[in-house]
């Protein structure tokens, strides 16, 4: 039975039993406490907590999930994987144990011909939480499972929570006995390799306030209702139904693994080391594809870092299997898309975008992989040579910071060579780097508010704050909640930084690339709050962030909300322009030019899109011309609400990686552009006035960024540019159209003059080398030259001078020390010849002696080394110390 059929049977069974089929949510979790969706119940958490009204009290889904805590174990065993699909049925206060347990048994044991999975009843075992007699009785008395196949287990096995505060409860698990060839008799308690868990029924009835571990948590009380949350791993179920030993041999995963073996000319099952690599590649390619499809881009932060780590680990494993050139990820991704496309048609629809991102990450990593591996090998060799088995934290940090090696990859490489990494040293350097960096702007998205506090406010707002801003710029609402430093308060006095939740508002919360509205909230009690930011930390919740300018803001006050109209209009112009730029680039570059991010600000915007390389200047000009021609036509901008299916049929663009509900909002710019969007826009294209593309650049593997100006900002830029061009034309005595050629000629002459000056300066410096060599000082039988070069002499010239003097002293031992101060900091170069090295005079050691005096460090080879420092006042002392070191060697 294919994986897609397993999912179909599950969903159809529960649909026949009154459940609404809910599409999989994005892997990007709405829950701010989670990086990625890691369990099938995550999208249902607000319903269990009664923070939102569910679309139905009975639901079923096949949810995409990613878990990465055990990523290093992926491939080493056949049980671990990063991406998986969780089939589940959910009851929100409707049915409980007495119905969930029979449902599970009926589907598992029902005949395949009748839509069941056909499991033999005598091969199934169940477990319940120790002391849960009610569940045990249901299994035995209602379903008919013999007592000897019902086992009681502790919290570690039969209690479920998310690992963070939230809903939880006891669970009952169903196991399939694979037979004596897989292990010992005795049920799940005896051997979980033989008795394989296939389904977990969670009786979600408690609210957990603190979760310290799986077995150590605090129960705050009961949930508003008793709920059911079940989870059946699709991959594990497919393995059983397909008669294979593990998830890597199932239909979707095996196709990727088998193709990886073909590409690398390896054979699965022949070499245990290669088997691990093949499993890693199969899992990570599939996981990476699904993450990219949900709009996650490789980066060095958050979920983007998880993706980068997964993709780069796969690239390296392909290389370890013997395939040195690039292109493997493209081929393997194609296989993965074909394997999963039946279940997720959007993979096929966005295949070009997925390839662009993954291909670029592979290409980027391969450029640095060889260099990074060489650096690691040197560090490993030095560790062994010094009798240590530890790779330094500084080396690991350099690999991460300079070459993009995730620390986990460095740890893996070290483990392969029997070494460990100084992780504490690495973490310290990483923290120092973060401390130097600017605070992450994303911190403002959720502030310090507890998620449960936000959920309470959403409930007070009726489950959703009404957004009035599409048609109104002012509006009255009721203050349903106030927060200061993340805590609920009933009032906020003058000067307080406060967060305000209204039941209805015209303020647009930052989202979809559009910046938030600014404005004023006028409370009926006389208070005024200046709004400086608006966020939507939970779906349906709009939080106004600002400062109380006067009076005392109180909950339950009536509030007149007024947005800054000029700012809103300017942002709306930018947002509409972004849609048009998106369409323009799709027309010019094809469907692979998919939006990968944007920011719509007053008068300017940036537009990120997937592309395999730089966009030619001619394409930028053509797109700009096309957009401004549409502005002249003054096309009507319309917003309409329709179904997602109808919108796609109309040709509306759905943003790459975005997920939409059944009902969507479509923005049309005449017949030119049609796109799904929840933002605000102008009434007609002519209101934009002018769009000026400022240029494009790379912001990451496979992603380019356009910066642009709109309206009066674009006009002002062009006006300034015109004045500048006129001034240049006057300066060089040329017509405007002659400027590029004339300025190019001037720049060429300047560069030639600079080269001539550099050559003359170098000749003057080297002219002194003969005299310096002639007057070399004898120090314990070594010809010793110490010289301070003129100020401004660069490091390259210092090296050339040291080498030239050394070469003039051939035939006798010689040490040359040259010091300069090129950029207000001293640089020292030491050169030695073969005769002096035979006497123990090594440049690397001597330059270290000098650099230490100068307050710095340095190093190099035995014949030539360079160092530097901070204190130019100690140059003479440094030269004396080196002379002493030469004399006493």
Q: Please, are residues 171 and 129 in contact by the beta-carbon 8 Å criterion?
A: yes
pLDDT at 860: 84
Interval 450-493: pLDDT, tens = 566 787 788 888 888 999 999 999 999 999 999 998 888 999 99
pLDDT at 275: 93
* Structure token digits, residue 306: 């998880």
Mean pLDDT check: name the lowest of 36-45, 62-71, 377-386, 594-603.
377-386
Q: Please, are residues 564 and 518 in contact by the beta-carbon 8 Å criterion?
A: yes
The count of residues in the chain is 889
775 is an annotated ligand-binding site residue:
no
Residue 842 has pLDDT above 60, yes or no: yes
Highest mean pLDDT among 47-56, 538-547, 746-755: 538-547
579 is an annotated ligand-binding site residue:
yes
* Structure token digits, residue 98: 């007495």
| Span 545-561, average pLDDT | 96
pLDDT at 448: 45
Residue 449 has pLDDT above 70, yes or no: no
Mean pLDDT check: name the lowest of 31-35, 510-514, 708-712.
31-35
Residue 39 has pLDDT above 80, yes or no: yes
* Structure token digits, residue 160: 């479920």
**Higher pLDDT, residue 443 or 583:** 583
User: How do the domains of the chain map onto residue ranges?
Assistant: 3-242, 251-436, 443-563, 568-718, 768-887
Phi and psi, residue 522, nearest 5° = -110, 110
Residue 552 has pLDDT above 70, yes or no: yes
pLDDT at 856: 87
* Structure token digits, residue 305: 């870092």
pLDDT at 442: 39
**Higher pLDDT, residue 417 or 351:** 351
Interval 581-593: pLDDT, tens = 999 999 998 877 8
Calculate what percentage of the chain has a pLDDT beyond 70.
Answer: 96
Confidence of residue 787 (pLDDT cuts 50, 70, 90): very high
Interval 608-650: pLDDT, tens = 988 878 888 899 999 999 999 999 999 999 999 988 778 877 7
pLDDT at 655: 60
**Higher pLDDT, residue 382 or 555:** 555
pLDDT at 659: 55
- CATH class of this structure's domain 568-718: alpha beta
DSSP 636: B
* Structure token digits, residue 844: 């690397």
Residue among 250, 254, 252, 251 nearest 239 (CA) = 250
Query: Residue 847: which region, alpha, beta or left (left: phi > 0; alpha: psi -120 to 50)?
Result: alpha
Residue among 521, 648, 512 nearest 575 (CA) = 512
pLDDT at 353: 85
677 is an annotated ligand-binding site residue:
yes
Confidence of residue 440 (pLDDT cuts 50, 70, 90): very low
Residue 889 has pLDDT above 80, yes or no: no
> What CATH number labels 768-887?
3.10.310.40
pLDDT at 654: 67
> What CATH number labels 3-242?
3.30.930.10
* Structure token digits, residue 312: 């780069």
Phi and psi, residue 535, nearest 5° = -130, 160
* Structure token digits, residue 736: 């405007």
| Bridging pattern class, strands 827-832 and 864-868 | antiparallel
Cα–Cα distance for residue pair 108/9, rounded to 1 Å: 11
- HEC sequence for 172-214: EEEEEECCHHHCCCCCCCCCCCCEEEEEEEEEEEEEEEEECCC
pLDDT at 436: 59
Neighbours of 883 (CB within 10 A): 19
Mean predicted lDDT score pLDDT of the chain:
88
80 is an annotated ligand-binding site residue:
no
Q: What are the E-state strand segments in 487-594?
A: 487-489, 491-492, 497-502, 504-505, 519-523, 528-535, 543-550, 553-554, 558-563
Interval 722-753: pLDDT, tens = 888 888 888 888 888 888 888 888 889 888 88
**Cα 110 to Cα 119, 238, 677, distances in angstroms:** 7, 16, 45
**Cα 745 to Cα 677, 725, 729, 748, distances in angstroms:** 49, 17, 14, 5
CATH 2.40.30.130 at 443-563, yes or no: yes
**Cα 161 to Cα 12, 154, 165, 202, distances in angstroms:** 28, 14, 8, 9
pLDDT at 445: 42
* Structure token digits, residue 79: 């049980």
Q: Please, are residues 841 and 805 in contact by the beta-carbon 8 Å criterion?
A: no
* Structure token digits, residue 16: 């026949």
Contacts 24+ apart (CB under 8 A), 715-719: 715/689, 715/690, 717/692, 718/690, 718/692
Cα–Cα distance for residue pair 71/69, rounded to 1 Å: 6
Residue among 690, 691, 693, 636 nearest 667 (CA) = 636
Confidence of residue 783 (pLDDT cuts 50, 70, 90): very high
Q: Name the CA dihedral angle for 504, 464, 664, 675, rounded to a multiple of 10 degrees.
A: 60
| Span 591-597, average pLDDT | 82
Residue 433 has pLDDT above 80, yes or no: no
């Amino acid at each position: 039975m294919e994986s897609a059929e397993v999912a179909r049977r599950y969903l159809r069974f529960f649909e026949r039993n009154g459940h609404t089929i809910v599409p999989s949510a994005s892997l990007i979790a709405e829950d701010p406490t989670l990086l990625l969706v890691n369990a099938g119940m995550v999208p249902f958490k607000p319903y269990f907590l009664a923070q939102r009204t569910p679309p139905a009290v009975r639901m079923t889904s096949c949810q995409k999930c990613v878990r990465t805590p055990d990523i290093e174990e992926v491939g080493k065993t056949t049980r671990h994987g990063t991406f998986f699909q969780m089939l589940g049925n959910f009851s929100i206060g409707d049915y409980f144990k007495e119905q969930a347990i029979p449902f599970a048994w009926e589907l598992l044991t029902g005949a395949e011909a009748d839509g069941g999975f056909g499991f033999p009843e005598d091969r199934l075992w169940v477990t319940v939480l120790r002391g849960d007699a009610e569940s045990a009785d249901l299994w035995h008395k209602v379903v008919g499972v013999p007592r000897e196949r019902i086992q009681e287990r502790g919290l570690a096995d039969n209690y479920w929570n998310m690992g963070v505060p939230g809903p939880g409860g006891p669970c009952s698990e169903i196991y399939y006995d694979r037979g004596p060839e897989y292990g010992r008799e005795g049920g799940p308690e005896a051997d979980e390799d033989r008795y394989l868990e296939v389904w977990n029924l969670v009786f979600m009835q408690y609210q957990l306030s603190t979760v310290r571990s799986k077995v150590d948590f605090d129960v705050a009380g009961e949930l508003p209702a008793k709920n059911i949350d079940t989870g059946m791993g699709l991959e594990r179920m497919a393995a059983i139904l397909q008669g294979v030993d593990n998830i890597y041999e199932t239909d979707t995963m095996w196709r990727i693994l088998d193709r990886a073996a073909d590409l690398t000319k390896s054979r699965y099952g022949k070499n245990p080391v290669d088997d691990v690599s093949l499993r890693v590649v199969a899992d990570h390619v599939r996981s990476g594809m699904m993450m990219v499809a949900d709009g996650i881009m490789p980066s060095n932060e958050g979920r983007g870092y998880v993706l980068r780590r997964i993709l780069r680990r796969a690239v390296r494993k392909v290389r370890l299997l013997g395939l040195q050139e690039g292109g493997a990820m493209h081929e393997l991704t194609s296989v993965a898309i074909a394997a999963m496309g039946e279940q997720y048609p959007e993979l096929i629809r966005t295949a070009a975008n997925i390839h662009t991102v993954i291909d670029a990450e592979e290409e980027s990593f391969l450029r640095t992989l060889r260099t990074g591996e060489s650096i690691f090998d040197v560090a490993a060799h030095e560790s062994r040579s010094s009798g240590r088995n530890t790779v330094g934290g500084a080396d690991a940090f350099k690999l991460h910071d300079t070459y993009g090696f995730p620390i986990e990859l460095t740890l893996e490489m070290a483990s392969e060579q029997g070494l460990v990494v100084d992780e504490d040293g690495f973490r310290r350097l990483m923290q120092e780097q973060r401390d130097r960096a600017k605070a992450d702007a994303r911190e403002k998205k959720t502030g310090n508010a507890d998620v449960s506090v936000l959920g309470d406010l959403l409930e007070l707002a009726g489950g959703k704050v009404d957004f009035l801003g599409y048609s109104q710029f002012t509006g009255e609402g009721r203050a349903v909640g106030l927060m200061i430093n993340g805590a609920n308060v009933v009032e906020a006095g003058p000067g307080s930084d406060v967060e305000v939740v209204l039941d209805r508002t015209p303020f647009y919360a930052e989202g979809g690339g559009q910046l938030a509205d600014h404005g004023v909230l006028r409370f009926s009690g006389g208070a005024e709050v200046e709004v400086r930011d608006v966020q939507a930390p939970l779906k349906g919740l709009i939080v106004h962030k600002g400062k109380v300018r006067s009076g005392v803001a109180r909950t339950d006050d009536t509030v007149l909300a007024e947005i800054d109209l000029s700012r809103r209009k300017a942002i709306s112009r930018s947002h509409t322009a972004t849609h048009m730029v998106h369409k323009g680039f799709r027309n010019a570059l094809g469907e692979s030019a998919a939006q990968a991010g944007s920011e719509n600000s007053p008068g300017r915007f940036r537009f990120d899109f997937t592309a395999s390389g730089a966009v030619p200047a001619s394409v930028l000009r053509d797109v700009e011309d096309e957009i401004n021609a549409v502005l002249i036509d003054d096309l009507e901008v319309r917003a309409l609400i329709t179904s997602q299916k109808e919108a796609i049929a109309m040709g509306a663009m759905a943003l790459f990686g975005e997920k939409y509900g059944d009902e969507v909002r479509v923005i049309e710019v005449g017949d030119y552009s049609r796109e799904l969007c929840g933002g605000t826009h102008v009434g007609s294209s002519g209101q934009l006035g002018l769009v000026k593309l400022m240029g494009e650049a790379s912001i990451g593997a496979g992603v380019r960024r356009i910066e642009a100006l709109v309206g009066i900002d674009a006009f002002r830029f062009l006006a300034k540019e015109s004045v500048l061009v006129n001034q240049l034309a006057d300066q060089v005595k040329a017509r405007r159209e002659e400027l590029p050629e004339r300025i190019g000629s001037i720049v060429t002459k300047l560069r030639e003059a600079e080269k001539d000056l550099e050559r003359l300066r170098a000749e003057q410096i080297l002219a002194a080398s003969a005299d310096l060599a002639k007057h070399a000082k004898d120090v314990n039988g070594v010809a010793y030259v110490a010289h301070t070069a003129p100020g401004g002499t660069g490091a390259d010239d210092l090296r050339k001078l040291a080498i030239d003097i050394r070469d003039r002293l051939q035939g006798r031992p010689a040490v040359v020390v040259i010091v300069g101060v090129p950029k207000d900091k001293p640089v020292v170069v030491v050169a030695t010849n073969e005769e002096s090295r035979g006497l123990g005079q090594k440049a690397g050691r001597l330059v270290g002696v000098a650099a230490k005096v100068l307050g710095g460090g340095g190093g190099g080879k035995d014949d030539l080394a360079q160092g530097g420092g901070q204190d130019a006042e100690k140059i003479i002392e440094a030269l004396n110390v080196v002379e002493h070191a030469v004399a006493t060697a």
